[in-house]
Structure 1
């Protein structure tokens, strides 16, 4: 589980360590194609759903109570169980 103050994804300008030609180098995030997978437990029937972060209204942190968009377009109250960052990052070596 992620710490409560840890973001669900990294932002442009964040300093990171990137593997380049077999070695880890200092780098900075240049662009982000964001994709955060959110596993939620629906309060209505305790079922699990896996949705993307753009389908969630509320704070992106584990344990948060949010509203999640259902396939029929309606929203249901849910609790975030897990966050997975599947974003694509472009970095530049510094």
Structure 2
């Protein structure tokens, strides 16, 4: 077992959701975009005056997250997608509860 005695060294921190040896730039962008839309929708969903923004951000995050989940290639991308989809759903639900899609 010569590999067991080797120390594992890691380089500088990089965000990379791909472990298959090939870059997945489009999938990474979709996953992070889903997460950002979801977090924005979730945060603004608690503010009644921001109901239109929360509703639209949540809808974009939810639909984009479903597509991103469909084309995702790694488990890390899928994990980000699920967190973003759930946050988008909760944000759009609060946005609709506070007044809906129109101001």
| Class of the TM-score when normalised by the shorter of the 2 chains | under 0.3
Superposition TM-score, scaled by structure 1 size: 0.23
Superposition TM-score, scaled by structure 2 size: 0.22
Structure 1 or 2: larger helix share?
2
